[in-house]
Structures are given as C-alpha cells and as structure tokens.
Structure 1
Amino acid sequence: MRKLFSGSTLKVIAVSAMLLDHFGQVVLKNGITLKVPYSMFTDFQFSNLLNIIDVLHMIGRLAFPIFCFLLVEGFMHT
C-alpha cells in the first residue's frame, strides 16, 4: 500500500490546523470582536469576520483526529 502522507507531514498539517484555530479564537474572537467597539465595523464586515472565525475553527477541528491517528499508529508500531 502506497502512503500518501508521512507521519511528519501529518504532524505539520495538524499543528498548522491547530495554529489557525488558536489564531481565530484568541486573536480574532477574543481580541477583535470582544475588545473593539461594534460600531467600528459595518454589519457586512462583522458578519464576514464571524464567518472567518467559524471557518478557522472548522479547520482547527481537523487537528485532534490526526493526532489521535498518529498516537494509535505509534502505539501499534512499538
């Protein structure tokens, strides 16, 4: 069976996904939407910002299953 991704590649993908999720939650959600006055944004800009936060959150949710897969793979090969 041919491997599509190596373990190192999967780790980089998972860490990148987690970093995007944390950026969206810490910087965009807690930093901008909660600290900056709502009047600085138009409704369109604010809804786009919330959509971006949701997309980054969905991307970040991929990290946990990848890390679990790598954990099981490591357990099976030791």
Structure 2
Amino acid sequence: MYSNYHFRESIEDGKVLFDYKVHEGPSTTRNAIKLLEILDYPESVTTQANEMARHFTDVHEWEKISNRLTQLS
C-alpha cells in the first residue's frame, strides 16, 4: 500500500512557484500540464493532457493512451 503526497504551486507572472512543503493526499492541480503551457507546448497536447487528467479525477483510473490515439486517427 502507498500514500499520496504532493507539493503545492502557484502561478505568478507566468512562472510556476512551488511551496516545497510536503502535503498529504493527492494533488488537486496539474502542475506538469501548467509547465507545458508556460513552455508553449502545442495547445493540442495540453488540451489532451487536461482531458486525460479530468478523466482520472472523475474515475480514479488513467485512460489508456492507445484509446486516445485511436480517437485521433
């Protein structure tokens, strides 16, 4: 068994700032996706990542990437 821990972050002036304090439980934000947005990754990538993250939040299970790739073709 395992436990979830996370850092919290805020975005200020287009920069992601972490608090570097360990918080119990799963993160409720998607800081990796925010970093991709700040780094100007294509919107198609960040949109898809946000949709997959929302799916995980809703059903607590990651959607298989192969399912997502099938939808794109």
Smaller-chain TM-score range? 0.3 to 0.5
TM-score by length of 1: 0.35
Q: Which has the larger radius of gyration?
A: 1
TM-score by length of 2: 0.37
Q: Which has the higher helix share?
A: 1
